[in-house]
Amino acid sequence: MKKFTQQFFMLFSLLSLMAIGAVEASSKVPMPKIVKVNDHIYALLGPTELPNKSNRGYMVNSTVIIGDKGVILVDTGFTDEIGRHIKKIIAGITDKPVTHVINTHHHGDHTLGNSEFKGAEIIGSEKCKTTIETNGYDWIGIAEQTTGLKLPNTKPVAPNVTYTEGKHANITLQGVKFVMWVPEGSHTPTDMMVHLPEENLLIAGDILVDTIMPSFRDGHVKTWISTMKKIIDLKPTKIIPGHGDLMTVADVSDLRNDMIKLYATVEAGYKKGLMDSDIRKTLDLSKWKKRKHFHEQMGTNINRTYLEVEDANF
């Protein structure tokens, strides 16, 4: 009987350890798809699902640019945990430290990992800095709500080096040439794209997304369309979007054409006196339906476009 009790206790302990291990394994942040762009640039393509408990909020693309003595990292993820995750992945690519972080806009899924890169210079647009300082904690609430996690150690950290809207700033970081391109408000009023002219590479943030729905919630649709035309004219051979796989200029043109058509149809409906609920019935959404998160985003996108059209025609 004693032997049976000992065996039972050992089995129970083993099963308990296995259960704990399974919980720990299930709580890990997913691995990104790592794409080697060239000998010193890597794209870390995050999951394309919306933030949830399973992915722990990881849903963003980051770019790792290895310079002379350090790494320039573009976008850091939604939480301190994701920031650490990205940091570990970088350590598996190079032993050089992250000396610079670039934020493509203020949204928390791109910036709330900033705090994990202590000592790094953080770069963004002027409006990105002021917006994070004003409502950065709101994004922690969004992260907690969408993932079901408590995030006491996630803190907003704003850029300490900024660039002005409407400008292209030519700079060199760790021996790598950059153009910090701050367009007029597009996906958000705080956007900044990163152009590496020697590689003909554009890191676009959420001004461009592949296979998923773009979010118009904070957008300025008409200037966004204009910004995309400027991207097409730039003719980058490599484009890293904010979400999804690497894109081509042809992909940008397709997305832009869909946005032009949407804006024009909403505007035509408005001028006929239709409300946005009536305009929705007139829209051809067949191409939009092929994108992930159509049902979660399309209604908001139509409403945001309608409000912009209404303001422009007031």
Whole-number pLDDT of residue 21 = 35
Q: Which residues of the chain have pLDDT under 70?
A: 1-27
CB atoms within 10 A of CB 50: 15
Helix, strand, or coil here: 77? coil
Whole-number pLDDT of residue 2 = 39
Domain boundaries, the chain: 29-312
CB atoms within 10 A of CB 287: 13
Model pLDDT for residues 176-227, shown as the tens digit of each residue: 999 999 999 999 999 999 999 999 999 999 999 999 999 999 999 999 999 9
Beta-bridge partners for 243: 209
Contacts 24+ apart (CB under 8 A), 128-134: 128/103, 128/158, 128/159, 128/162, 128/190, 128/192, 129/158, 129/159, 129/160, 129/162, 130/158, 131/106, 131/189, 131/190, 132/106, 132/156, 132/157, 132/158, 132/159, 133/158
Whole-number pLDDT of residue 217 = 96
Q: Quick check: 198 and 184 in contact, CB under 8 A?
A: no
Whole-number pLDDT of residue 8 = 31
**pTM for the whole structure:** 0.90
Model pLDDT for residues 230-252, shown as the tens digit of each residue: 999 999 999 999 999 999 999 99
Q: Return the amino acid letter for 203.
A: I
Whole-number pLDDT of residue 22 = 32
Whole-number pLDDT of residue 314 = 80
CATH topology of domain 29-312: Metallo-beta-lactamase; Chain A (3.60.15)
